[in-house]
Amino acid sequence: MRFALIWWLTEETGSATTLAVASVVTMLPLVVLGPFGGALVDRWNRRWVMVISDGIIALLTALLAYLYWLEVAQVWQVYAILFLRSLGGTFQDSAMRASTSLMAPKEQLTRVSGMNETLQGIVNVVSPPLGALLLKVLDMQGTLAIDVVTAVMAVVPLFFVRVPQPHRPGRAGARSLPDPAAPDYGGAVPPLDKWQSVLRDTVEGFRYIWGWRGLFFLLAVLAMVRFFIAPPMSMLPLLVKQYYDGGALQLAWMSSANGFGFVAGGVILSLWGGFRRRTVTALVGLFGVGVGTVIFGLVPATAFGIALVVMFLRALMVPIIRGPIVAIFQSSTPPEMQGRLFTVLMSGISVMAPLGLAIGGPLADAFGVRLLFILGGVGMVLTALIWVFTPTVLYLEDHPRPKAS
């Protein structure tokens, strides 16, 4: 669905700023509300979090299809639906990632992350060409209707898969002593106390990261990566349309090359497992993505085929970054805290992206999208060099979080 909507915005406006706004509204739920969502995920049944989140996403897509059928869909409505879908996705992704560590051995988490990246890459390979084909065969509402069906298909298996819950004091079966000074509410938790508890859990997630200084500095490094990479990748449809004079099919090929790279990188990581030091594996991937992004920005307009190859090689390095980092988080964090930790981390990593998009949108409208790829790639290489010369981050795994006194 995202492919179809982004291409519609590209054709409707031809504006880099419009695409930047679309990316910002997609990121806002994760940046602003993500940490609170993580605290709730740690308290709720994770299976039902995923079921309800996917169900709401399907309903929102159906609503947007109805607006297109009425021929009244406007840019602001697309923004609103993208925002709400992203909000549901924040809960869904947090619950899924937090459940993974309870379903796989710690020593295999890097390989599992590689497999997940492979599956995500397969989706990225298949979706764009299928989206381009559906846009030609069906109208927009028909394309969105297909997305509703696939969302429902994603929900059904969750009813048949066991999703383990972390032990948490106060859960059924957990042993905890009552507080004699606490007021008696007859077994019911007052709403105010409930939300105060959620707030405490959220603050605890922030304090956990702050207390592990290496993890905090890694978050800062990854936030800078997002600052440099979010603007050019958000403008990719405009680059295809204006620089390569392409259409939806050419954008689909470019997106599929990106997806094939994800698949290849995920397979390599799942088979290889990475270096012994996971941070080194991620660092190699970051250098590769940075250099590949610069080269992609330098490809001539007459060499679309070369651009596809460069996009593939660049994307191949992305799972090499993400897989080891996710594995570090999963293996070093108590299961009952992983929901809030993942969302706090993702929120912190993404917080710089809206700033990058606010700068990148007008810059691309003035000087072209290619400049964003070149500058973004250089920025990522410089960030990787900072990583190399920051021992707290490079040797993160050698210095786990200190135990609370």
pLDDT > 90: what percent of the chain? 16
Residues 36 and 94 sit within 8 Å (Cβ to Cβ) = no
Q: What is the pLDDT of residue 176?
A: 38
pLDDT higher than 50, residue 179: no
pLDDT 10s digits, 46-103: 777 788 888 888 888 888 888 888 888 888 888 988 888 888 877 777 776 666 656 5
199-238 burial, b at 16+ Cβ within 10 Å, e below that, comes to: eebbeebbebbeebebbbbbbbbbbbbbbbbbbbebbbbb
Model pLDDT for residues 212-268, shown as the tens digit of each residue? 777 788 888 888 998 999 899 888 999 999 899 988 888 888 988 988 888 888 888
Give the residue-averaged pLDDT of 306-316. Answer: 95
Angstrom distances, CA of residue 363 to CA of 20, 169, 241: 11, 51, 17
Residue 210 has pLDDT above 90, yes or no: no
**N- to C-terminal Cα separation, the chain:** 49
| CB proximity list for 71: less than 8 A, separation 6 or greater | none
The rounded distance, in Å, linking the Cα atoms of 238 and 43 is: 42
Least confident of 109-118, 127-136, 204-213, 381-390: 109-118
Q: Check residues 175 and 374 and name the one with the higher pLDDT.
A: 374
Domain boundaries, the chain: 2-162+196-398
Q: Residue 245 carries which DSSP code?
A: -
pLDDT confidence band for 381 (50 / 70 / 90): very high
Q: What is the mean pLDDT of residues 378-404?
A: 80
Could you tell me the two tokens for 272? Answer: 């290889």
Q: Does pTM surpass 0.75?
A: no
Residue 202 has pLDDT above 80, yes or no: no
Identify the pLDDT of residue 399.
Answer: 66
Q: What is the DSSP string of 201-224?
A: HHHHHHHHHHHSHHHHHHHHHHHH
Question: Which of 107-116, 159-168, 196-205, 301-310 reaches the highest mean pLDDT?
Answer: 301-310
Average pLDDT value for residue range 368-380 = 93
What does the pLDDT read at residue 187?
41
Average pLDDT of the chain? 78
Q: What pLDDT is recorded for position 25?
A: 86
Asked whether the predicted pLDDT for residue 193 surpasses 50, the reply is yes
> With respect to CATH, is domain 2-162+196-398 assigned 3.40.50.300?
no
